[in-house]
Amino acid sequence: ERSRRSFGQKLSSLFTNFTGVDDDFYDDLEETLIEADVGFDTALEISEEVRDEIEFEHVSDPDQISQLIVRRLVALYTRNGSAEDNHLVFSKEGPTVFLFVGVNGVGKTTSIGKMAARFKARGRKVLLAACDTFRAGAIQQLEEWGKRDGVDVVAGKEQSDPASVAFEAVKKAKAENYDLLLVDTAGRLQNKVNLMNELDKIKRVISREIPDAPQETLLVLDSTTGQNALTQAKAFLETTNVTGIILTKLDGTAKGGIVLAIRNQLHLAVKYVGLGETVDDLSPFNPEQYVSGLFKGLMED
Amino acid sequence: MAFEGLTERLQKTFTNLRKKGKVTEADLRDTMREIRLALLEADVNFKVVKQFVKTVRDQAIGSDILEGLNPAQQIVKLVNDELVKMMGEEDAPLNKSPKIPTIIMMAGLQGAGKTTTTGKLALKLKNEQKARPLLIAADVYRPAAIDQLVQVGQQIDVPVYEEGTDVSPVDIVRHGLAQAAENKNDYVFIDTAGRLQIDEKLMQELADIKALAQPNEILLVVDAMTGQNAVNTAEGFNEKLDITGVVLTKLDGDTRGGAALSIRSVTGKPIKFVGQGEKMEDLDVFHPDRMASRILGMGDMLTLIEKT
Ligand SMILES: Nc1nc2c(ncn2[C@@H]2O[C@H](COP(=O)(O)OP(=O)(O)OP(=O)(O)O)[C@@H](O)[C@H]2O)c(=O)[nH]1
Ligand SMILES: Nc1nc2c(ncn2[C@@H]2O[C@H](COP(=O)(O)OP(=O)(O)OP(=O)(O)O)[C@@H](O)[C@H]2O)c(=O)[nH]1
Ligand SMILES: [Mg+2]
Ligand SMILES: [Mg+2]
């Protein structure tokens, strides 16, 4: 909320000196969008569309203009595949597997901890797999989340083969009738070929045991990340066929506007957002809310 | 590849310029636009970009670059030189206390790389100066943060001071410093929990640790992939802590790292080290000139100039 207000305030300052829709206005609009990390091309595209609409409709009232901007942004977010929803896919029978992937430190392990609690509270039997055998303390971190959530964790030795941990976990999930298996993986930068191949191997091990699994491969993105998030999405989509995004750290001052470009170019939708470090800080993503949240202060003023 | 866009973009503009042999006002405007675009794509903050482009433009107009034989080359050089200048021309070494221990405090957003960098820096000092560092585990919030630091300490064979998660970070630091005095450690690292710069309570905790420990070095650890928000983070931490330097992590990725320029420009504080991987050896001193070519997407400046 904090962040949104301050962003909204910035936006409304766009209107405090509002003297009409001139070139300065569109420059300001562009910069406001760039500041949210939507990227220059997207900012220009949106600004052009807004300009066309304002001219076509002869709008001059600041309130109407701000609403028009929000409508445009939501349209931009949803127009590429508005039919697809952001619900998670579960298997009809047997365990569902979600694989969590992403670069270092974005919030994969934490998001698993939050999601496990969420689905446990809905009566599902949840299992976690500690397939980050590489980073110092990674196994203990997931085990700590398991303890907090009261869910089981399958872990191997440090430095052991992550694919074999995944194998053990899937086997256990099948044998002991778990509903949901959440697989944590080590952070990896998308330009590291070996590490990306390792991820592919983990995924293949899972699919071999359960043909439809993983039902979701969730790419975790840090909202403070700039244009590189698009490169990340491209690379992870290619190697692991990502099915959705979890956008974390939205409780900060960053907006993660790059998800607009990701949605536009790769048709990948955000499914959940991370809003803090505690177990309750995970929410399903709502595009209207996200976009109009960016413009909140503006709408109210 | 991530860098292609810019190189091609500049080459195209420059090829056009070269064909005409003479640069007009309009050409200059186009060139500045391309530079602006390139910097924004590299995640340099838009306000910083604005100022930068203005500076370069003024210089380009002020000099007789427009009459020059190969204006494109000159503009590239101008941009590059100005970037290097802004980023601090000299490599900045670590501060050292006249008497032991030198105290180094790490701060930054969640997941930036503080704990990893603590290990890397301690190892570097150990290898280069035969230092005997102590690491203090002052993150009592993140699950298994202490386990992580303890394992990092084991990897580099450096002791870690920890008191679990039931003691306040300020008290842990106080006791850790006493321990360091007793053991005559020459360097002390304080690993703190990640936090948002807008989290007043946790920012105050850092200020309290600072007041107690009076560190010689307060390093803000920043993820090189950070976008426009880098200025907010840098400003927030710098205002509260008056940081002494910056470490840029995850530069082994393919990000252009424009955040470096934004942070430098809003804090004026030197970037001292860069993280180049997950292993303890993967830390380098910061080179402004290399960073400049990286941000401009010109890994090889000379190649570009030869082509223009
Ligand atoms: N403020 C905030 N912090 C978060 C959020 N999600 C995760 N974090 C914090 O970000 C840091 C990194 O989170 P992790 O879950 O360890 O990230 P990871 O992707 O598993 O990291 P690696 O396994 O090292 O690649 C931790 O300090 C988390 O508490 C969020 O939504 N908001
Ligand atoms: N590729 C790469 N990964 C890095 C680098 N520095 C840190 N990491 C990784 O980034 C992730 C987060 O690093 P940490 O050291 O745990 O970050 P932190 O700032 O201590 O995180 P919190 O304590 O949760 O705020 C880990 O997966 C590290 O291995 C680097 O230079 N390159
Ligand atoms: Mg993790
Ligand atoms: Mg840490």
> CB–CB of B132/B260 below 8 Å?
no
Q: Which two tokens stand for residue A11?
A: 């936006």
**What is residue B91's predicted lDDT score, i.e. its pLDDT?**
77
Instruction: Using CB atoms, pick whichever of B40, B110, B196 lies closest to residue A40.
Output: B40
More confident residue, B22 or A29: A29
Mean pLDDT of chain B: 89
Confidence of residue A1 (pLDDT cuts 50, 70, 90): very low
Q: Is there an atom of ligand 2 within 6 Å of B247 CB?
A: no
Q: Quick check: helix, strand or coil at residue B226?
A: strand
pLDDT confidence bin for A5, thresholds 50/70/90: very low
By alpha-carbon position, which residue is closest to atom 1 of ligand 2? B277
Per-residue pLDDT at B4: 46
Distance CA A294, CA A9 (A): 10
With a 6 A CB cut-off, is A225 part of the ligand 1 pocket?
no
* Per-residue pLDDT at A2: 38
Mean pLDDT for the stretch of residues B88-113: 93
Nearest to A282 by CA among A190, A145, A178, A123: A145
Distances in Å between the Cα of A222 and the Cα atoms of A104, A174, A225, B44, B178 are: 10, 32, 6, 18, 38
Element (H, E) at A284: strand A282-284
Cross-chain Cβ contact A228/B142 below 8 Å? no
A160-176 per-position pLDDT tens digit: 999 999 999 999 999 99
B271 and B263 Cβ atoms separated by less than 8 Å: yes
CB contact under 8 A, B148 and A106: no
User: Rounded mean pLDDT of A71-89?
Assistant: 72
Residues of chain B with C-beta less than 8 angstroms from the C-beta of A277: 110, 141-142
Distance between the two ends of chain A, CA-based, in angstroms? 16
B278 interaction partners in chain A (CB closer than 8 Å): 104, 134-135
d(CA A264, CA A280): 30
Q: Which pLDDT does position A3 carry in this prediction? A: 40
| Angle (CA) B132 B133 B134, round 5° | 130
Tell me the per-residue pLDDT of B263-296, one tens digit each, with 9 for 90 and over: 999 999 999 999 999 999 999 999 998 898 888 8
**Whole-number CA gyration radius for chain A:** 21
Query: Is A105 within 8 Å of B252 when comparing Cβ atoms?
Result: no
Say what the pLDDT of residue A283 is. 94
Question: Ligand 2 in contact with B233 (CB < 6 A)?
Answer: no
d(CA B287, CA B229): 23
Statement: residue A288 has pLDDT above 80? no
B111 and A222 within 8 Å at the Cβ level: the answer is yes
Residue B24, pLDDT > 80, answer no
What's B42's DSSP letter?
T
Per-residue pLDDT, B72? 66
Q: Is B249 in the pocket of ligand 2 (CB under 6 A)?
A: yes
Per-residue pLDDT band for A289 (boundaries 50, 70, 90) equals: confident
Which pLDDT tens digit goes with each residue over A90-106? 999 999 999 999 999 99
**Ligand with minimal distance to B278 CA:** 2
Mean pLDDT on B58-75: 68
Could you give the dihedral angle defined by the CA atoms of residues B288, B290, B294 and B295, in that order, rounded to the nearest 10 degrees?
Answer: 10
H-helix or E-strand spanning residue B188 = strand B187-192
Mean pLDDT computed over A257-266: 89
Tokens 């899937």, residue located: A170
pLDDT higher than 60, residue A301:
no
> Could you tell me which of A132, A111, A106, A103 has the C-alpha nearest to residue A234?
A103
pLDDT at B57: 86
Q: What confidence score (pLDDT) does residue B32 get?
A: 85
Count helices and strands in chain B by DSSP H and E runs: 12, 8
How far apart (Å, rounded) are the C-alpha atoms in residues B45 and B231? Answer: 7
CA of B117, nearest ligand number: 2
At residue B37 the predicted structure's pLDDT band, cuts being 50, 70 and 90, is confident
From the CA of A192, give the closest atom in ligand 2: 1
- In this prediction, residues A141-165 reach a mean pLDDT of 97
Q: What is the ipTM metric for this complex?
A: 0.94
Query: Does residue B142 have a pLDDT over 90?
Result: yes
Q: Is A275 in the pocket of ligand 1 (CB under 6 A)?
A: yes
Of A298, A294, A282, the closest CA to residue A36 belongs to A294
> Is residue A89's pLDDT more than 60?
yes
A30 or B245: which leads in pLDDT: B245
Q: Are A189 and A103 in contact (CB under 8 A)?
A: yes
Average pLDDT for B56-82: 73
Tell me the H-state helices in chain A.
2-16, 23-35, 40-57, 62-78, 108-121, 138-149, 162-175, 193-209, 228-240, 258-266, 287-294, 296-300
CA count, 13 A, side-chain hemisphere, B194: 22
Residues from chain A contacting residue B149 (CB–CB below 8 Å): 136-137
Q: Is B207 helix (H, G, I), strand (E, B) or coil?
A: helix
From chain B, pick out residues whose CB is under 8 angstroms from the CB of A138. 144, 148
The alpha carbon of residue B158 and the mean position of all alpha carbons in its chain are separated, in whole angstroms, by: 25
Residue of the CA atom closest to atom 27 of ligand 1: B110
Q: Does A262 touch chain B (CB under 8 A)?
A: no
For residues A35 and A10, the answer to whether their CB atoms sit within 8 Å is yes
pLDDT of A7 reads: 44
Nearest ligand (C-alpha, residue B152):
2
Which of the residues B51, B110, B235 would you substitute to probe the A interface, choosing the one with the greatest number of A C-beta atoms within 10 Å? Answer: B110
Closest Cα to residue B103, out of B170, B159, B180?
B180
Best to test chain A binding among B3, B44, B255 (most A CBs inside 10 Å): B255
Please tell me the predicted confidence (pLDDT) of residue B25: 76
Instruction: Give the number of the atom of ligand 1 that is nearest the alpha carbon of residue A135.
Output: 24
Measured from the CA of A188, which atom of ligand 2 is nearest?
A: 1
Residues of B in contact with A189 (CB under 8 A): 250, 252-254
CA nearest to B234 within chain A: A253
Residue type, B195: R
pLDDT value at B305 more than 70: no
Q: What pLDDT score was predicted for residue A45?
A: 87
pLDDT score recorded for residue B261: 95
Q: What is the mean pLDDT of residues B193-198?
A: 98
pLDDT 10s digits, A35-67 = 889 888 888 888 898 899 888 888 888 778 877
Residues less than 5 Å from ion ligand 3, measured at CB: A 108-109
B102-107 vs A282-284, strand pairing mode: unpaired
- pTM given for the model: 0.93
> What is the pLDDT of chain A when averaged over all its residues?
88
CA of B106 to the centre of ligand 4 (A): 9
